[in-house]
Amino acid sequence: MARKKNHDEEIIKEENEEIEDVNEEAAADNQTAEEIEQLNNKLVRLQADFLNYKSRTEKEKISSYSNAVSDFVLDLLPVVDNLERALCADDSNASSFKEGVQMVYDQFMGILNKKGLKEIEALHQPFDHNVHYGVGFEENDKYDDGTIIDVLQKGYTVNDKCIRPSMVRICKR
H/E run at residue 162: strand 161-164
Q: What is the pLDDT of residues 35-77, one digit of tens each?
A: 888 989 998 999 999 999 999 999 999 999 889 999 999 999 9
Checking if the pLDDT of 158 tops 80, the result is yes
Residue 168: the pLDDT is 95
Residue 110: the pLDDT is 95
Instruction: Report the C-alpha gap between 114 and 159 in whole angstroms.
Output: 10
- Percent with pLDDT over 90 in the chain: 51
| Strands 156-158 and 148-153, sheet pairing | unpaired
Residues 106-129: b if buried by 16+ CB within 10 A, e if exposed: eeeeeebeeebbeebebeebebee
93 pLDDT tier (thresholds 50, 70, 90): low
Checking if the pLDDT of 100 tops 80, the result is yes
Residue 109: the pLDDT is 94
